């Protein structure tokens, strides 16, 4: 195998978070990311710019730092080759392999909570159209206050295991629903 990409060892402290990250993350998603990192370790790469600033993976790095992961392997590339993380300790056709695949996809979905202010700011500054990337936000600064009518409002009561309900409650709050617990 010919290696023509530079590989460097670094510490997590060498990485610089994106100060304008457009994903605020969600409490529910962060819990899932942390659980996944504790159970499986790292399974995919993050992306850095040429100055070690984090382009993607900011929330994952935050969680990694909190649980004590410190070592970073940096593969330098110009984006013309696929970077693959090969986990030699996992076989896809095992419970652990299939659960990791599920956790990877589930955490990606659960931990997206767009910071619309940042998206508007970078859209304007860099002439980026969010809807080209599937992000549906209004770029105009017109805010309308809509008062829900009885027809627009639904109340529900959910029963279940405490942990499951707490996770669901957190997710619903993160998604903008008005929620409260009733004892």
Instruction: Identify the pLDDT of residue 139.
Output: 66
pTM summary value: 0.72
Query: How far is Cα 79 from Cα 67, in angstroms, rounded to an integer?
Result: 30
Instruction: Identify the pLDDT of residue 156.
Output: 76
155: its two tokens = 């109340």
pLDDT in tens, the chain (183 residues): 656 778 999 999 999 999 999 999 999 999 999 999 999 999 999 999 999 999 999 999 999 999 999 999 999 999 999 999 999 999 999 999 999 999 999 999 999 999 999 999 999 999 999 989 989 887 654 333 334 555 667 777 788 888 888 888 888 887 777 777 666
Instruction: Identify the pLDDT of residue 52.
Output: 97
Instruction: Identify the pLDDT of residue 160.
Output: 81
Instruction: Identify the pLDDT of residue 146.
Output: 36
Query: How far is Cα 119 from Cα 108, in angstroms, rounded to an integer?
Result: 19
Instruction: Identify the pLDDT of residue 104.
Output: 94
Query: Domain extents for the chain?
Result: 7-111, 113-143
């Amino acid at each position: 195998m010919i290696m023509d990409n530079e590989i460097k060892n670094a510490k997590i402290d060498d990485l610089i978070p994106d100060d304008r990250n457009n994903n605020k993350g969600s409490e529910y998603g962060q819990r899932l990311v942390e659980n996944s990192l504790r159970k499986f370790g790292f399974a995919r790469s993050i992306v850095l710019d040429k100055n070690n600033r984090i382009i993607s993976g900011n929330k994952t790095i935050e969680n990694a730092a909190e649980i004590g992961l410190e070592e970073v392997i940096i593969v330098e590339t110009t984006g013309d080759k696929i970077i693959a993380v090969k986990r030699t300790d996992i076989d896809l056709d095992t419970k652990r392999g299939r659960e990791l695949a599920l956790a990877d996809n589930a955490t990606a979905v659960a931990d997206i909570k767009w910071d619309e202010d940042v998206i508007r700011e970078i859209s304007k500054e860099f002439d980026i159209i969010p809807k080209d990337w599937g992000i549906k936000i209004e770029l105009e600064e017109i805010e309308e206050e809509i008062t829900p009518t009885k027809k627009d409002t639904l109340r529900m009561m959910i029963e279940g295991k405490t942990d499951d309900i707490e996770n669901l409650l957190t997710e619903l709050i993160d998604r903008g629903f008005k929620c409260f617990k009733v004892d």
